[in-house]
Amino acid sequence: MNLILITACPSGMATTFLAAKRLEQAAMRLGWNVHVEMHGEIAPLQAASAEQIANADLIVVAADHVPAPERFEGKRLFQAPIASALPDPGAFLSQAKREAPIYSAPAATAAAPASSAGGKKIVAVTACPTGVAHTFMAAEALAEAGKAMGHQIRVETQGSVGAQNKLTEAEIADADVVVLACDIEVDPSRFAGKRVYRTSTGNALKKPRPTLEAAFTDAAVEDDTSAASSSATAKKGMKEKGVYKHLLTGVSFMLPMVVAGGLLIALSFVFGIEAFQEEGTLAAALMQIGGGTAFALMIPVLAGYIAYSIADRPGIAPGMIGGMLAAEIGSGFIGGILAGFLAGYVALAVTRYVKLPSSVESLKPILIIPLIASLVTGLTMIYVIGEPVAAVLSALTSFLESMGSTNAVLLGILLGAMMCFDLGGPVNKAAYTFGVGLLASETYGPMAAIMAAGMVPAIGMGIASFVARNKFSAPEREAGKASFVLGLCFISEGAIPFAAKDPLRVIPACIAGGAVTGALSMLVGAKLMAPHGGIFVLLIPNAITPALLYLGAIVVGSLITGLGYAFIKRGAAQVAVAS
């Protein structure tokens, strides 16, 4: 029997490859002559020729759609989701042989005018709070899904190094729809007049095809905006984004301050822990830049960009003013968060509800909103919430600094488990934000435990794929190598491909290893000056102390995760591929 086998899975390159190889192997055991057409990035597309299609007895499509369906008009064709092909490929092919009907290509496909020029034109932007992993993984998933659906798509990533693959004005003008898959606020003004669909990076990563389908049906036209138009500002501000998104926007803009400040402080310690106290020295200058300036800006930037996420540009000034007051009063990152939300919502309320004559309406964004919002935020911080929050933060800091080893271990277990629970999701981000906030109060222990535990899942998956090679397919072993490197860089998302396929085993193994690492880090009293960088922060003297014990905590947790998952993972029969 002559078989043409087609696999496509926009949400996972490895799944496309695994399904193709397993089905090809099963077909060869049945004695069938098979041509494989994989729609993915791992291997180049080898489309079936017209002669192969004409001679084919059966077409099997393991995908959500039939690529170029008009090719198979009048042939016996069986289509099913790719997930149904993986558990038992032999049974899947037998079912296809029994049940495949004569295929008729959908009439809409042949007549769709939009596809005549390569489908719709889509432009997209992805951005996550830290701008590292989710940003680029979501971009890749959207690009693959768009290509598989026959559309032209360009994705701009707004990561930690700025905008990459930046969209041009011409591309935006020609686009049929704009997809903003962003967990933080991005400037939407350049998409004015276009149909825009907003979602999260998580949705784009996990459900890229439904995301694009929803964009075509649910996208709404952005109102035309200008820098001086307060009414346009109001309409943009009225978009409900949620408290979580506002907080992550502030954290995203604050992170560079924290990283730069922490590493500069660590560099000042190279000359001695107390060397910065001697005026005129390089150590004193480094401490002034890092501790006196960068760390001083942390809370104002956090508050300012929380307010920006809520009320757009009019929120920045009152938010930063409130954040500076929070820092001066001593209410720290908790006060900064409260000041940011207060300033943002006051600015938004003034934008929405204060009506002025048209002759002075243009003064609202530059005079009325900053004045009222700054006044309300400042007075509230000084007379209402500043001192109580400062007392709470002081008590929290004192507790963290004075807690015994038992409490430290329990906190490390909690933070470590949270970092590994959802691999970059809300629980992970909550723990990370907690640790970053404490850096402003010169409390460095929790951040050390958080980064160490966050490295464990990806490193552990790399270890498992090496130790139990016979239980992993060739693509999975390659993914394990990449995961190991990502783990060293403190990118927990490297374990996501493994967790997506086997969550009931991967997630518990990751949590166990992360919890142990967090506990050990707190037990040895590890302190971390910078909230990112992974293992490479160890190259900077005194950025992590004690360095060897901290590294040992990471190794122990990674081995628990890696060896544990290698032991409980099912055998190779589940993921066998042709050699």
Confidence of residue 338 (pLDDT cuts 50, 70, 90): very high
The residue-averaged pLDDT of 127-143 equals 73
Return d(Cα 452, Cα 519) in angstroms, integer. 10
* pLDDT at res. 161: 56
Q: How far apart are CA 66 and CA 108, in angstroms?
A: 13
Highest mean pLDDT among 57-61, 80-84, 133-137, 356-360: 57-61
Average pLDDT over residues 2-15: 73
- 85-133 pLDDT tens trace: 877 888 899 999 999 999 987 764 333 334 334 478 899 998 876 555 6
Quick one: pLDDT at residue 116?
36
Q: What is the pLDDT of residues 167-204, one digit of tens each?
A: 888 888 888 899 998 877 777 778 888 889 988 877 78
Which range in 126-130, 232-236, 514-518 is most confidently predicted, on average pLDDT?
514-518
The pLDDT score that the predictor gives to residue 577 is: 34
The model's pLDDT over 549-576, given as tens digits with 9 standing for 90+, comes to: 999 999 999 999 999 999 998 765 343 3
Average pLDDT over residues 31-52: 78
Please give the average per-residue pLDDT across 141-160, as a whole number. Answer: 82
Q: Say if CB 421 and CB 511 are below 8 A apart.
A: yes
The pTM for the full model equals: 0.59
Residue 357 banded pLDDT, cuts 50, 70, 90: confident
Give the confidence band of 523 by pLDDT, cuts at 50, 70, 90. very high
Q: What are phi and psi of 31, to 5 degrees?
A: 85, 20
Q: How far apart are CA 538 and CA 528, in angstroms?
A: 10
Residue scoring higher pLDDT (268 or 160): 268
How many other C-beta atoms can be found within 10 angstroms of the C-beta atom of residue 396?
15
For Cα atoms 255, 463, 486, give the angle at the middle one, nearest 5 degrees: 25
Query: Is residue 128 among the annotated active site residues?
Result: yes
Predicted confidence band of residue 47 (pLDDT cuts 50, 70, 90): confident
Q: What is residue 246's predicted lDDT score, i.e. its pLDDT? A: 86
pLDDT at 13 over 60: no
For 273, residues 6+ apart whose C-beta sits below 8 A from its C-beta are 542
Instruction: Report yes or no: 526 and 445 within 8 Å, Cβ to Cβ.
Output: yes
Q: What is the mean pLDDT of residues 401-421?
A: 85
pLDDT recorded at residue 300: 93
Least confident of 294-308, 334-348, 531-545: 531-545
Q: Is residue 25's pLDDT more than 50?
A: yes
The answer to whether residue 59 scores a pLDDT higher than 80 is: yes
**Alpha-carbon distance values, 284 to 256, 263, 279, 291, 317 (Å):** 21, 14, 6, 10, 31
Residue 45: pLDDT above 50? Answer: yes
On average, the pLDDT of the chain sits at: 81
Query: Angle at the Cα of 222 (from 221 to 224), degrees rounded to 5?
Result: 120
pLDDT in tens, 274-329: 788 888 899 899 889 988 888 888 889 999 999 998 888 889 999 999 999 998 88
Q: Are 21 and 53 in contact (CB under 8 A)?
A: no
pLDDT tens-digit map of 539-549 = 777 778 888 99
Structure confidence at residue 9 (pLDDT) = 65
Highest mean pLDDT among 85-99, 370-384, 413-427: 370-384
Catalytic residue among 9, 182, 420, 510: 9
**What integer is the mean pLDDT of 445-461?**
92
pLDDT surpassing 80 at residue 219:
yes
Q: Which helix (H) or strand (E) holds 34?
A: strand 33-39
Higher pLDDT, 131 or 412: 412
Percent of the chain with pLDDT over 70: 88
| pLDDT number for residue 434 | 84
pLDDT score of 311? 87
> Can you give the pLDDT at residue 365?
80
DSSP state of 76: B
pLDDT of the residue at 21: 84
Residue 123 CB partners (closer than 8 Å, separation 6+) = 153, 154, 155, 156, 167, 171, 172, 175, 177, 178, 179
What mean pLDDT do residues 386-393 have?
A: 86
Q: Is the pLDDT of residue 211 over 50?
A: yes
DSSP three-state, residue 361? helix
Average pLDDT over residues 523-547: 82
Looking at residue 42, its pLDDT comes to 53
Catalytic residue, from 128, 182, 420, 510: name it. 128
pLDDT of 428 reads 80
What percentage of the chain has pLDDT greater than the value 90? Answer: 27
Res. 146 pLDDT band, cuts 50 70 90: confident
Contacts of 502 (CB under 8 A, 6+ apart): 569, 570
pLDDT at 472 over 90: no
Q: What is the pLDDT of residues 250-281, one digit of tens each?
A: 887 887 888 788 778 878 877 876 788 888 89
How confident is the model at residue 554, as a pLDDT? Answer: 95
